[in-house]
Amino acid sequence: MKSVFHSKDFRELMVVKELPDNFACTGSLSQHSYNIDYNGIHGHVNEMLINGFLVVHRVIHSPHEIQILTEHDFPFLKMQFELKGHSAYQPAKPGSLAVDIPEGTHNLFFFPAVKGRLNYPTTERFTLEIMLSVNWLQHVFNGDLSSLKQFGYAIDHTQPAVMGVRSGFITPVMKQAILSIIHCPYTGILKKIYVESKVQELLVLQIEHFSNASIITEAAPARTVIKQGDTEKFHYVKELINNNLQEPCSLIRLAELAGMNDFKLKKGFKELFGTTVFGYMTEVRMNKAKSLLLEGKHTISDISWWVGYKNPQHFTAAFKRKFGYLPSELKK
């Protein structure tokens, strides 16, 4: 399997990378790290090859937008999480699928082969990218991809597909799994087992996230371009939500603190993160509540207060809507 990259931003105008067929690995895992420091662009890349998939973690700082022409001559199946930054792929062939993954979002996509342009418009990137072999995915699903519906059909028939009509926002649970991979405390075979379990967890979370969305077989609709300064404001709103669960701010107050009106906050937040302000707030509160319940040290009444519910019954109803079971069932 061969990948080719061209870019005027790097010393090597063309880089050819040979990869083992189906991401095969003879040992438990193989790791490789390297630093980037050229033409004002600096950062580091960590790669981890485990039999069947390749995990790549990138931290990149650039004074300007980066464009890379890329080609892959093998079936390209990828899970991508842009914690910071923005990745946009435009195919060379008109009418083919494009993939747009703004900051704070993720997607899962498949191409029989790749030829096009990658564009990184932001000055910082902090990402986790997982390239899967089709054989590995089929093994996980016991040879039957029909549960992935149109996406599975596309893979079986070597047709391009992007799972999300729009990239979905990275949930707190996803972020926890991502950071667990990046900061894995184990080595050797234990690291292989641990990382593979987290990759499967992320895959399940992605499938669950997109389960109610349409699988696309044509280019996704263009997103509104959000200015860098506004992007920072929307991330500030996320911080305000995360840090004020007990006393959540109203939408009007969040807009005031971010220096914008509530209409712009609602529209831009949904555009950037793929969910509403209220939807994100509920997601954070429920996942925090679930974490506290699993600790087994707190009463349901205390937990409801900690995550901003004055009435435990309202908390219980919201928890059941989110997870499908009562908080008391988790404490048993």
- pLDDT tens, position by position, 231-267: 888 888 988 998 888 888 899 999 999 999 999 999 8
Q: Which position has the higher pLDDT, 132 or 234?
A: 132
Nearest Cα neighbor of 255 from 275, 274, 243, 269 is 269
Share of the chain above pLDDT 70, in %: 92
The predicted pLDDT at position 216 comes to 41
CA–chain centroid gap for 45, Å, is 17
pTM, two decimals, is 0.66
Output the six-digit token pair for 254: 């969040």
> What domains lie within the chain, and their CATH numbers?
2-210 (2.60.120.10), 228-331 (1.10.10.60)
- pLDDT tens, position by position, 158-182: 999 998 878 888 988 999 999 999 9
Task: Report d(CA 204, CA 129) in Å as an integer.
Answer: 16
Average pLDDT for the chain = 87
Residue 101: how many CA atoms within 13 Å on its side-chain side?
28
Q: What confidence category does residue 43 fall into, taking pLDDT thresholds of 50, 70 and 90?
A: very high
Output the six-digit token pair for 128: 């986790």
Identity of the amino acid at 223:
R
- pLDDT tens, position by position, 68-88: 999 999 999 999 999 999 999
> By mean pLDDT, which of 36-50, 93-107, 207-221 is the weakest?
207-221
Nearest Cα neighbor of 110 from 78, 138, 85 is 78
- pLDDT tens, position by position, 3-22: 888 876 665 556 888 999 99
The predicted pLDDT at position 214 comes to 47
